Amino acid sequence: MPRNLSKAEPPRTGSAKALASKPKASGSELILRSVSAIVLIGIAMGVTALGTWYFLVLVSLGVALMSIEWGIMAAPNAAGRMAIAVAIAALAGLFVAYLQHPWLAILILLFGALCAGLFAYRLKSTWLDAAYGVLYIGWPALVLLWLRNTNNGLYWVIFVFGIAWSADIAAFLVGKLVGGPKLWRRYSPNKTWSGFAGGMIAGMMAAGTLSDMTHLFKHDTSASFVGLLTALSTMAGDLWESALKRRFGVKDAGSLIPGHGGLLDRVDGLMFAVVTVGVIRLLVLLGTEI
């Protein structure tokens, strides 16, 4: 992870105390979040079902938007150039992955991260932030596109989407309704252990339901275990993004999505969940019986 979180910089917009005391969402804000989530889910599911080329366009657009948000967070004085460097590197690997050359795509992504870091160094920005941004955004995008290109790819993408969304929504709602002890007060003061438990249970339930519909797994217990791991990854991704934002001193990664902030704010858990399901999919392809 770029820089040391234990030496977090002061927030650029308001104090750390102000960020920690962010007001709870009102009823109108909850409605706005719900409507935004429904629209995004509908778009994602519709485009995913259309085919791999349309899916490539969707993921590429997401990579470009997240690169812009990363540039603004990581290098506010050179946001545009940082965003371009991160986007070009991540998209280069993504397009090669679409041509079904996964190992070459990984090498290009790593080389792109190195080039972005050197470019940021020339800009007198933190080179590690640029290199990390390429991998943070590009790696889940590559895995997601690879999942869609595999056999039963549509079902695998629906599987990861369904678990990540279920875990994320349940964690938010249960945390708001139940409250209780904080999960990680230092970096994410609004998240609770009750929300974490709700997200994990929802992820397992979603995995069981989707497994019955798609028949991706031979055993119900396997589906539940995969759901548990994927939901845990979703929670971890959400916390990781919160820590990154606290380190960069921002409340939200952007303002693109009403009620959610930026795209990075909305898909942070999904990015980690995709990688987890990608590993599981690879194990299945290698002959592991799940």
pTM over 0.95: no
Residue 90 lies inside a defined structural domain of this protein: yes
Are 249 and 12 in contact by the 8 Å Cβ rule? The answer is yes
DSSP-derived letter for residue 7 is: G
Q: What is the CA radius of gyration of the chain?
A: 19
Q: Spell out the residues 6+ positions from residue 103 whose beta carbon is closer than 8 angstroms to its own.
A: none
Question: How many domains, the chain?
Answer: 2
Residue finishing a domain among 97, 118, 149: 149
Contact 35, 273 (CB under 8 A): no
Output phi, psi for 153, to 5 deg: -60, -35
165 and 209 inside one domain: yes
What per-residue string of b and e applies to 239-257 under the rule 16 or more CB within 10 Å gives b? bbbbbbbbbbbbebbbebb
Which among 201, 161, 144, 163 has a CA at the least distance from the CA of 40? Answer: 161
Q: 95, 130, 149 — which closes off a domain?
A: 149
Q: What is the pLDDT of residue 24?
A: 47
User: Do 113 and 197 share a domain, yes or no?
Assistant: no
DSSP secondary structure of 53-88: HHHHHHHHHHHHHHHHHHHHHH-GGGHHHHHHHHHH
Mind listing the pLDDT tens digit for each residue in 9-48? 444 544 444 444 444 445 666 677 677 778 888 888 899 9
Q: Which of 121, 149, 177 is the last residue of a domain?
A: 149
Residues in contact with 217: Cβ distance below 8 Å, sequence separation at least 6, in sequence order: 211, 223, 226, 290
Residue 2 reports pLDDT greater than 70: no
Residues 284 and 181 in one domain: yes
Q: Which range marks the domain in which residue 88 is found?
A: 25-149
Residues 92, 213 within the same domain: no
The answer on pLDDT for 286 being more than 60 is yes
Determine the Cα–Cα distance for residues 131 and 139; give it in Å rounded to an integer.
12
| Span 94-119, average pLDDT | 95
Q: Span 97-102, mean pLDDT? A: 92
Q: Half-sphere exposure of residue 153, counting CA atoms within 13 Å on the CB side?
A: 15
Q: pLDDT at position 251, please? A: 83
Which pLDDT score is estimated for 22?
A: 44
Flag whether 31 is in a domain: yes
167 with 43, same domain: the answer is no
pLDDT digits (tens, 9 = 90+) for 164-206: 999 988 988 898 888 888 887 777 778 889 999 999 999 999 9
Task: Give yes or no: residues 199 and 241 share one domain.
Answer: yes
- Going through the chain in order, the beta strands assigned E by DSSP cover 182-184, 188-192
